[in-house]
Amino acid sequence: MERYRLANGADTVDLIEAAARLHHLPPQVVAEAVIAAPRPADRHRLWFPRQNRPGAPDSSYWERSGADTTDRGTVLRVALARTVDISGCARADLQVLDPLHDTLVIEEQQGFDQPFLDFFARVSPATKSACSAARVRGRRVTVADTATDPLFSYAPTREALLAAGSRAVQSTPLLILGRCLGIVSTHHTRPGHTPSSIEETALDVLARHTAVWLNWHLRDTLLNALEHLHRAAGER
């Protein structure tokens, strides 16, 4: 209100919620960023000019493929392809945390049909699944047999996995500073499969690279939300 001479608190809330909604962020995150970020030098100029922002983090994973390291879809597709190469599996998925709804959302996948994708469209922390367990525990979860493991005590979850041909699964969290930004999971058609130590090391390296990139992208998205808020408030 003080910065943009807004008439009342309702206008302030409306502007913050609109910027958050447009960029798929929780309003509280945008509000906290407004307070924490340096004040804009001029209400009629850009708050965060592109040349003053950190660029996308370097990673041989993206560069070797010639990927556009600023494009979310491209980077995540490369990450999933590397995952498949490491594990040698036919089915895999990469979920990213939606902070607005506190759920994991599949953004890239290989080998799954629509019923599986619909069932796991949004996975909450309370869901009885390998991916949610990996997120809550902050470490890899490996299930050698989805048909018998007690993790899948909720029958529909077990049935969805078996129907999709997933008899063994591992889920690796994408962590940065202890915060989970997503999960990458590999699925095998035969029970008893567990990743080797070499596979685990390679998956951990890939997970770190992907988490660093997602963290950068989240910050860049937040700056875009603040820039939108700055422009919209300045036009009031």
From the list 127, 137, 83, the residue with the least C-alpha distance to 105 is 127
**What is the percentage of the chain residues whose pLDDT exceeds 90?**
65
- Confirm whether 189 is domain-assigned: yes
Q: Which domain holds residue 159?
A: 63-217
Contacts of 187 (CB under 8 A, 6+ apart): 89, 90, 91, 92, 93, 111, 161, 164, 165, 166, 168, 169
Q: Is 36 inside a domain boundary?
A: yes
pLDDT digits (tens, 9 = 90+) for 50-78: 766 777 787 666 777 677 777 888 889 99
Kindly state whether residues 68 and 148 are assigned to the same domain: yes
What is the tally of structural domains in the chain?
2
> In this predicted structure, what is the pLDDT of residue 204?
97
Same domain (yes/no): 115, 26: no
- Shared domain check, 123 and 144: yes
Q: Is 1 within the bounds of a domain?
A: no
Average pLDDT, the chain: 91
225 shares a domain with 209: no
Q: Which two tokens stand for residue 23?
A: 């960029």
Q: What is the pLDDT of residue 62?
A: 72
Same domain, 47 and 117: no
Which token pair is 24? 């798929």
- If asked whether residues 44 and 157 sit together in one domain, one would say no
Is residue 4 domain-resident? Answer: no
Residue 71 included in any domain: yes
Confidence (pLDDT) at 51: 64
- Domain presence at residue 177: yes
- Average the pLDDT over 125-142 and give the result: 96
Asked if residue 175 and residue 91 are part of one domain, the reply reads: yes
Q: For position 152, which CATH number holds?
A: 3.30.450.40
92 shares a domain with 47: no
Whether residue 2 lies inside any domain: the answer is: no
Q: What is the DSSP letter of 53?
A: S
Amino acid identity, position 44: H
Residues 69, 105, single domain; the answer is yes
Question: Tens of pLDDT along 196-223?
Answer: 999 999 999 999 999 999 999 888 888 8
Judgement on whether residues 89 and 200 belong to the same structural domain of the protein: yes
In a domain, 205, yes or no: yes
Do 83 and 196 lie in one domain? The reply is yes
Compute the distance between CA of residue 208 and CA of residue 51 in angstroms, rounded to an integer. Answer: 26
Same domain for 172 and 186: yes
Average the pLDDT over 125-141 and give the result.
96
Q: Which of 7-11, 39-43, 159-163 has the highest mean pLDDT?
A: 159-163
Average pLDDT over residues 150-166: 96
Chain segment 71-100, per-residue pLDDT in tens: 888 889 999 999 999 999 999 999 999 887
- Amino acid identity of 27? P
Q: 25 falls in which pLDDT band (50, 70, 90)?
A: confident
Whether the pLDDT of residue 49 is over 90: the answer is no
